[in-house]
Each structure stands twice: as C-alpha cells, then as structure tokens.
Amino acid sequence: MNYQDLLLQPLKQLLADYPWLEDFFSSFGLQLPVTEQPLHQYLDRLDPDQLLDLGISQEQLQQSLHDFMAGMLALDEAAEKVESLTIIGGFDKTGTAEQLELTLRPGEVICIVGPTGSGKSRLLADIEWVAQGDTPTRRKILINNSVPDNKWRFSTEHKLVAQLSQNMNFVMDLTAEEFVRMHAESRLVPDPEEKVVRILEQANQLAGEQFKPDTPVTSLSGGQSRALMIADMAILSKSPIVLIDEIENAGIDRKKALELLVKQEKIILMATHDPILALMGDKRLVIKNGGIAKIIASSDAERKNLSRLEELDNTLLALRNRIRFGETLEEL
Amino acid sequence: MHFLTVSGPPSSGKTSVILRVIEALQAKQQKIGVVKYDCLMTEDDLRYAKKGVLVKKGLSGSQCPDHYFVSNIEACVKWGVENDCDFLISESAGLCNRCSPHIKDITAVCVIDNLSGINTPRKIGPMLKSADIVVITKGDIVSQAEREVFASRVKQVNPGAVIMNINGITGQGAFELTTLFEEASDIETLKGMRLRFSMPSALCSYCLGETRIGDEYQTGNVRKMES
C-alpha cells in the first residue's frame, strides 16, 4: 500500500493492520481514536494549538508519518542477498600498499589479529561504512562483486553489518524478556513472541549460569549478557555480515556461540587473540601499522592443536567451577 | 561558507563530537569557526581554541538561551564569513526540550546519548524531531541491542533523519559524519531565513523579573493547569 492510499483508510482498519501506528502517534503525544474516520481527516482536523504545545507542526507530523511508513514498509522487503564481500587493499599508516583482494563468503569465519591501536577497528569500520576509497585507509569494499548502493551506509532498516561490541552493559530498567521483546518489536520481525522464547532459551544454553526471563538486564553477569546478545543477534539480526570485537572467555561457551552465528549463514569477522577462536576461523588477517600485513590460513597442524587447546580450556573451566562451588585447588 | 547548527541536551557529547569532526576537516586544510552558546558558563571555547579553531562564546545569562541564540546568530554568521571560514558550526544546549535552534534550509544536527533513557527521544521536541542528522553518542557503554532499541526510538520520532552512532572519545564514526558535514548548506547570510519551529511563548510578569508567588502578581501570558 502506498502512502496516499493509506491516508484514505479508516483509522480502525489501519490500527488493526499496522499496530505500530499507535506507537508512532503516542511518541508524539497523540492518541489515534479507533473510529471509521479516515486518516487524512484525522490529521487535517488536529488542533494547531495542541500541536504547538506538543512541539510539532501539522506539516512536520505529516512528513514524519510519511517517512516512518516508508521505513516500516521497507522492513518487509527481502534484504538483498549477500553472496560475497570483497576487501580491496588500501594503504597502511606509512603509505605502503596493502596489495590484496580478499573475497569472503557466507559461513566463513575470519579472525582479525594485531596489537591495540594497530587498526583492527578501522578495518571493521571500513566494512561497516562500505568504504569506497574514501576513508583514511582508502580501502574499497565490494558486495557481490560490485559497488553497493549508498543506502547501506545510512539505512537503519537494512544494515549490512551487525556489530557485536565488547561492551555488554545495559542501562535500561527492563527484564531480559521485556528487553528482547522491545528489540524484536523494533525490528518488526514476524511472531516476536516466539523469537523472544527462542532467544532466551538459546542464551541460557550458551551461558554458564542460567538466568530467568524476569531477571532485570542490569543484573545479568558479563557472561549472561554476552550470551543474550549473541543469541539475540543470531535470531533477530537480518544483517548478512557480523563483526565481533572479541568474545571474551568469561562464562560463555565460545564454540557454541560461534557455531550459532555460523549456522545463520553469515560472514563473520572477529577481532580476537583467543587461540581457540583464532584457530576456529578459516583465515587470520594480521593487522600491523594500520594495514593488513599478512593473511594466514589455519593449517592442518594448527587445527590438530585445536583439540589440545580445547582440553586445556576445559581443564581451566573445570577449575573455575571448583572455585565457584567453594572447593580448594590444592590438588589439580 | 558551510553552516550547521548542532544542539543537544547538556553533557550529551556535542563538543566532543564536533571536535572529532573538526580534526578530520582540518586534515583537509579547512578553516573552521565555532560559536558556542551557553547559559551560565562554558570552558568549551578553550577546548576549541586549543585545536586552532576560531571560536566565539555567547553566554545568555538571565535571558532565555534560545531567544539569545536567535538574536545573535545572524551576526555570528557574518563574523564567520568575514573571517573566511570554510565551515561555521553553532553549538547550543537545548535546555527546556521545547526549543530548537534549527533553521529552515540550514543543516541541523541533534546530539543525544544512549544513557539518557529510553523515553528521552519522545521528550525532546523540535530540537530532535526536526533535525536532519541525529548523532547518538556513548554507544560504547551499552550493548549492541540496547543501542539498536534506542536508535529505533529516535527513528520513530524523526524517521527522516540520518541517524549515526559516534564515539566522542575514540572518534569512531566521526570520519563518516564528516562526509555529511561537507554536504551542509553553503550560505553567505541568514538574512530572511526562518527558524524551523516557534519557541515557547512567554512574556508574563516573571519574564520581567517578578519573583513573588501569587495570582495577583501574574500578568501577561499565563496558563493554569487543568483542575
């Protein structure tokens, strides 16, 4: 339905078809009456003094409604399928060319390694911005072998990249269930209730310690928050590319977390120095002095060592649990 | 001269964001001027001056800050043009949430932060609702999902705006914001232009310095709560 048709619809029908319209109007301090009155008539008859008190003009309200509807209807459109992401090298901080063209495909996990300040975040930012030689590194990013539409840069509906950052704090005063519901609703996913249940269930499988749907998000532990955010991203995010800035060790099954994301057929780029995660990746990009200095493909010998590393990790995890339950470590 | 109005609640990170954008513009040999509007005091002018930016400070004192803004901004633009600035940025705090320094046809930026509460986007008036660009700061402090929920609340009240997350400390996102600053309105004067939205009406006895409480002292434009 286009905007002009929408204006002719009775409010009652609109509220039934697009329940989020109610939320839109209430965010401006207005309440839509459930009547047979067509939308255009309701808008035209709004009291100018009331609108002035609410800090908006008739014209601005109409414009906002138009933009909002356009955005909401766009959410339903199928996102463009991303078959490949290509990074075309730019220059490092000293002006040396990176000389690489690297193509990544859904299901691949690429690790990014390098010391703090080496330029890992800039690489992640170049991808998020779909750089076209117009960032300080002058890298170029292609999607499906071509220069993507500029809309990717500013769209909040069709984000190319979902970023899972290091910080997992919450400041909102909501329970885990309320929070996930609010997030699901803001993304207009079909059947948000079912998604909420799945996200909480999945998060509890990843977290070392269980939490309940009515646990306030502000009292989740670091591991629980991380588990919740990973499950949330895997189930809610439509973005075909996931950028992860470290999945820390604290209280979460990292392997399962990564598998959950890979299963969604996304391209995963992960900044990490964790040997287990690094070896689970297909390739490692080594960042030095602002540029990609080397690409290391995980070797068979490395992969063999992965099981040994996992044993070591499990041993440490078992020790952590013994400490947690008040045991001593006099004998290992 | 490119001219932009930047506004936002106190401590939302306006100055930090502007400073980051300025760094990127200066790298391109652009001359920048900033006009900083505040009520009682500000030391932000020193932060700008330290970056080699031409800066002018305006303190409204006992006057309504946005009235003060609108009475001075035209002269400030003239000052920027006379000083051959490539960019002039006006920075002001939106104090009552009903005012807005945004001008029709002049690029308007509103800065708000992720810590300000989920209902804040609804509570801020034309300063947020009529901005062209909304910059959300302090995203590094909250989780990805919380950032998204906050941005969707902003999108709800200003669906036409470009919404960007910027980290004022590390500067992440500032480069990208700079590209929008470069597209800002190019003007020589504000003569004949209009504000995007009217200011709250007042002019009652208290505007004129009355301090006594009581019906007999209230004259002029007075409104009573519904009982």
Is the pLDDT assigned to residue A306 strictly greater than 70?
A: yes
Q: Which chain B residues are within 8 Å of A178, Cβ to Cβ?
A: none
A 200-229 near B (Cβ less than 8 A): 225, 228-229
pLDDT for A78 beyond 70: no
Strand arrangement, sheet containing A109-113: A161-164, A241-245, A267-271, A109-113, A283-288, A291-297
**In contact, B30 and B85? CB cutoff 8 Å:** no
CB pair distance less than 8 Å for B159 and A225? no
Contact B130, B158 (CB under 8 A): yes
pLDDT over 70 at A250, yes or no: no
- CB-nearest to B143 from A57, A170, A187 is A170
The DSSP output letter for A78 is P
Supply B215's token pair.
């019906």
Indicate yes or no: CB of A186 within 8 angstroms of CB of B179: no
CA A296 to mean position of chain CA atoms: 27
Contacts of A111 (CB under 8 A, 6+ apart): A269, A270, A271, A272, A277, A278, A281, A283, A284, A285
pLDDT attached to residue B171 = 83
Q: Is A129–B176 a contact, with Cβ atoms under 8 angstroms apart? A: yes
pLDDT recorded at residue A248: 67
CB nearest B129 (choices: A55, A136, A183): A55
**Distance (Å) from the C-alpha of residue B116 to the closest C-alpha of chain A?**
9
Which residue intervals of A79-141 are DSSP H helices?
120-128
Say which of B130, B158, B172 has its CB closest to residue A121.
Answer: B172
Rounded-to-10 torsion of CA B113, B116, B120, B124: -60
Q: What pLDDT digit, counting tens, does each position of A5-24 carry? A: 889 999 999 999 888 899 89
Is B206 in CB contact (< 8 Å) with chain A? no
Instruction: State the pLDDT confidence band at A149, using cuts at 50, 70 and 90.
Output: confident
d(CA B9, CA B151): 16
Specify burial of residue A154 (Cβ count, 10 A radius: 0-12, 13-18, 19+).
middle
Which residues in chain A are contacts of B197 at CB distance < 8 A? 55-57, 60
> Which residue, B153, B201, B161, B154, is CA-closest to B177?
B161
Instruction: Report the pLDDT averaged over residues A93-121.
Output: 92
Closest residue in chain A to residue B175, using alpha carbons only: A135
Whether residue A25 lies within 8 A of chain B, CB to CB, comes out as no
Q: How many CB atoms lie within 10 A of CB A200?
A: 19
Give every CB contact of residue B168 below 8 A, 6+ residues apart in sequence.
B13, B16, B17, B19, B20, B137, B138
Name every residue whose Cβ is closer than 8 Å to that of residue A252 and which is 6 or more positions away in sequence. A206, A207, A208, A223, A226, A227, A230
- Residue corresponding to tokens 């990717």: A152
Mean pLDDT by 10 residues, chain B (227 residues): 96 95 93 94 91 94 89 96 97 87 96 93 94 94 88 93 90 88 94 92 87 93 87
Mean per-residue pLDDT for A117-136? 89
pLDDT, position A249: 63
Determine contact: B148 vs chain A, CB below 8 A.
yes
The torsion of the CA quartet B110, B115, B119, B124, rounded to 10 degrees, works out to -30
Is A7:A24 a contact under the CB 8 Å cutoff?
no
Q: Which 3 state secondary structure label does DSSP give A320?
A: helix
Task: Residue window 227-266, chain A: list those with CB within 8 Å of chain B.
Answer: 228-229, 232-233
Would the CB atoms of A232 and B145 count as touching at under 8 Å?
A: yes
Shortest distance between the Cα of A145 and any Cα of chain B, in A, equals 23
CB-nearest partner of A154 from B139, B144, B162: B162
Give the model's pLDDT for residue B188: 94
Minimal Cβ distance to B149: which of A64, A153, A182: A182
Q: What span, in angstroms and rounded, lies between the C-alpha atoms of B155 and B90?
A: 24
Q: Which residue from A minimizes the CA distance to B146?
A: A170
The amino acid at B27: A
User: A250 phi and psi, to 5 degrees?
Assistant: -65, 110
Which residues of chain A neighbour B20 with C-beta distances below 8 Å? Answer: none
The pLDDT value given to residue A251 = 62
Asked if B17 and B111 count as a contact pair (C-beta separation under 8 A), the reply is: yes
A23-32: average pLDDT: 92
Is A56 in contact with B129 (Cβ distance < 8 A)?
yes
Percent of chain A with pLDDT over 90: 49
* Residue A28 to residue B149, Cβ atoms within 8 A: no
A136 contacts in chain B (CB < 8 Å): 175
> Would the CB atoms of A162 and B118 count as touching at under 8 Å?
no
Residue A88 half-sphere exposure toward CB, CA atoms < 13 A: 14
> What does the pLDDT average to over A142-171?
82
A156, A165, A171: residue with CB nearest B115:
A171
Question: What's the mean pLDDT in A261-275?
Answer: 87
Which pLDDT score is estimated for A79?
63
B147 touches B114 (CB < 8 A):
yes
Is the model's pLDDT at A41 over the cut of 70? yes
Residue A236, min C-alpha distance to chain B (Å):
10
ipTM associated with this complex:
0.83
Give me chain B's average pLDDT, please.
92
* A186 close contact with B: CB closer than 8 A: yes
* pLDDT tens readout for residues B109-134: 999 999 998 899 999 999 999 999 99
pLDDT digits (tens, 9 = 90+) for B134-143: 999 998 888 8
Q: pLDDT at residue A325 above 70?
A: yes
**CB pair distance less than 8 Å for A187 and B152:** yes
Chain A positions touching B194 (Cβ under 8 A) are: none
